[in-house]
């Protein structure tokens, strides 16, 4: 788990993500995809909740290893936005970022409600 | 993006690249990503990013990173563009699907339209053939039929000697039926003439009241056979139309005869005239059973008959002819009916102003033929 509160923390999370990713067998563009997702998720935490955490776990599905990245914060949440409407509202940066992350990764879930913070969970499987 | 902003971006890019060149650190890569992310948000394109990279490398000169490291840095700076590129691919795929669906539906609609058009053309062709055929037959039949009819007429007037009772009855049947045939052939040829526009109309101003009185008198005898009472309701004073009086009389004769035929015994058939804007409406109202619902749509078709009983009375051309005549006068023929409460046939025609020699009001009427 990497606490996120500044751009230095983003760098640490990226470092950890890159190390875990390459240990799992991700390479080249896929590693860049993982660090991109971490940059976006961590950037959102700083921008909208000031602080939070990125949790990375090695997971497995049907014998295939993968990396799970969870971004948690206790910020204001996303009250007006349904998870299905990602990329269409709530400001261009968040829109492009979250919808982009959804497309970069293999799996994408979001839990968010007003006053209860936000939790975004993504997974990427080793090709 | 302003020139200043581009310059600042180039500056920042060169600084970050230099940092990565020296340290190879994740911090420098995160910086490259942030840089690219801002560029993306500001609408900077991928090619401009590549140009920035070239400029920064050139500026660093000897301090420029080795090619491998430079590539890593550029990849990182371009990574944010992947966020939107994948979205665009998705959108393109959606659009393609939608477009294919539209194309398919358009093709189907066009196909259906063409089929319908072909059918219409074919139906018209058959209709024309049918009319042509009927016309030819009528022409061919008319001359011998006139001879037969004339000969039967002479025979029944006693020329050729007295016949016995049975002979007279047979002659009566033959004469009556030849008359029916003559009327049918005349009707068919009339209708064809009107529709082809080759019938000439002798147009003059007609005052409606005396004209209708005359029409009622002429049909009174026929109506009495059905027990119908023809009556003229109030007619506006000095109301004129411009028409061919013989043809208009034919229309009235048809409407009055029909009304009489379907009138209950001793039922009234009322003729009325109303003014409505620039036109006059002449209506003939009966208190008969009304027109059956399934027959209303094809009442103006040729040889249309509501039922076998009605067929006794005529071939079913009368209304087609009446409608064609009224339309040739720039008018409109219509009806209102309700099962059990009678039928009103009416025609609207432009009211004529005999003093000015022009229609009273410029209405939505076509030019006078």
At residue B131 the predicted structure's pLDDT band, cuts being 50, 70 and 90, is confident
The predicted model gives B194-201 an average pLDDT of 82
The pLDDT tens digits for B281-304 are 999 999 988 888 888 877 887 776
pLDDT digits 0-9 by tens, A7-65: 999 999 999 999 999 999 999 899 999 999 999 999 999 988 899 999 999 999 999 99
Residue whose token pair is 């003729």:
B271
The answer to whether A36 contacts B41, with C-beta atoms less than 8 Å apart, is: no
Span B215-244, mean pLDDT? 91
Chain-chain contact of B82 with A8 (C-beta, under 8 angstroms): no
Token match 């058959």: residue? B126
Residue B325 three-state SS: helix
Which domains are delineated in chain A?
Answer: 2-125 (3.30.565.10)
CA angle at B328 for the pair B327 and B330, rounded to the nearest 5°: 65
Closest chain A C-alpha to B99 CA, distance in angstroms: 22
The answer to whether B189 and B139 have CB atoms below 8 angstroms apart is yes
At B183, the pLDDT band (50, 70, 90 cuts) reads confident
**Residue B136 pLDDT greater than 90, yes or no:** no
pLDDT at residue A71, as a whole number: 96
Residue B197 exposed, middle or buried by CB count within 10 Å (0-12, 13-18, 19+): exposed
**Predicted TM-score of the model (pTM):** 0.51
Give B66 or B81, the one with higher predicted confidence: B81
pLDDT confidence tier of residue B363, bands split at 50, 70 and 90: low
| Cα within 13 Å of Cα(A7), Cβ side | 10
Q: What residues of A are in the B interface, CB distance below 8 Å?
A: 7-8, 10-12, 14-15, 18, 29, 32-33, 35-36, 39-40, 43, 87, 92-93, 96-97, 99-101, 103-104
**Interchain pair A18, B27: CB under 8 A:** no
Residue B51: CB atoms within 10 A of its CB come to 14
CB contact under 8 A, A14 and B84: no
Range from A120-124, B88-92, B267-271 carrying the lowest mean pLDDT = B88-92
The per-residue pLDDT of chain A, averaged, comes to 86
Mind spelling out the 3-state secondary structure of A8-66? HHHHHHHHHHHHHHHHHCCCCHHHHHHHHHHHHHHHHHHHHHCCEEEEEEEEEECCEEE
- Per-residue confidence (pLDDT) for residue B349, from 0 to 100: 94
- ipTM, two decimals, is 0.83
Q: Which of A10, A18, A103 sits opposite B86 (nearest CB)?
A: A103
Mean pLDDT of chain B: 87
CATH class of B204-359: alpha beta
Three-point CA angle B271, B276, B279, nearest 5°: 85
């Amino acid at each position: 788990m990497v606490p996120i509160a500044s751009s230095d923390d983003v760098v640490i999370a990226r470092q950890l993500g890159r190390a875990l990713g390459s240990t799992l067998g991700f390479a080249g563009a896929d590693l860049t995809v993982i660090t991109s997702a971490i940059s976006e998720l961590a950037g959102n935490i700083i921008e909208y909740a000031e602080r939070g955490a990125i949790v990375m776990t090695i997971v497995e599905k049907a014998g295939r290893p993968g990396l799970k990245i969870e971004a948690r914060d206790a910020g204001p949440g996303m009250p007006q936005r349904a998870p299905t409407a990602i990329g269409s509202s709530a400001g261009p940066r968040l829109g492009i970022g979250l919808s982009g992350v959804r497309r970069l990764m293999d799996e994408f879930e979001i839990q968010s409600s007003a006053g209860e913070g936000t939790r975004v969970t993504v997974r990427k499987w080793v090709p | 993006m302003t020139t200043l902003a581009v310059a600042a971006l180039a500056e920042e890019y060169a600084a970050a690249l230099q940092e990565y060149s020296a340290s190879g650190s994740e911090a420098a890569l995160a910086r490259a990503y942030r840089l690219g992310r801002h560029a993306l948000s500001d609408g900077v394109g991928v090619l401009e990013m590549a140009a920035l990279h070239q400029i920064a490398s050139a500026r660093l000169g000897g301090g420029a990173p080795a090619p491998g490291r430079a590539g890593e840095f550029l990849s990182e700076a371009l990574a944010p563009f992947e966020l939107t590129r994948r979205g665009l691919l998705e959108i393109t795929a959606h659009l393609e699907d939608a477009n294919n669906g539209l194309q398919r539906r358009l093709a189907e609609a066009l196909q259906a339209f063409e089929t319908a058009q072909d059918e219409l053309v074919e139906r018209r062709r058959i209709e024309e053939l049918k009319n042509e055929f009927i016309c030819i037959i009528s022409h061919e039949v008319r001359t011998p039929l006139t001879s037969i009819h004339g000969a039967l007429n002479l025979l029944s007037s006693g020329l050729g000697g007295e016949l016995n009772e049975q002979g007279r009855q047979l002659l009566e049947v033959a004469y009556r039926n030849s008359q029916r045939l003559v009327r049918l052939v005349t009707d068919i040829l009339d209708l064809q003439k009107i529709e082809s526009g080759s019938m000439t109309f002798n147009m003059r101003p007609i005052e409606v009241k005396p004209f209708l009185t005359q029409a009622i008198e002429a049909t009174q005898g026929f109506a009495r056979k059905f027990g119908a009472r023809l009556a003229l309701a109030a007619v506006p004073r000095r109301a004129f139309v411009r028409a061919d009086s013989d043809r208009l009389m034919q229309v009235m004769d048809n409407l009055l005869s029909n009304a009489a035929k379907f009138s209950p015994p001793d039922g009234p058939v009322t003729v009325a005239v109303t003014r409505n804007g620039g036109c006059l409406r002449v209506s003939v109202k009966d208190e008969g059973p009304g027109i059956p619902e399934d027959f209303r749509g094809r009442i103006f078709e040729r040889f249309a008959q509501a039922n076998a009983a009605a067929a006794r009375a005529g071939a079913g051309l009368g209304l087609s002819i009446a409608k064609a005549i009224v339309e040739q006068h720039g008018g409109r023929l219509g009806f209102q009916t309700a099962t059990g409460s009678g039928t009103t046939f009416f025609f609207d025609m432009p009211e004529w102003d005999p003093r000015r020699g022009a229609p009273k009001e410029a209405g939505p009427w076509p030019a006078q033929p």
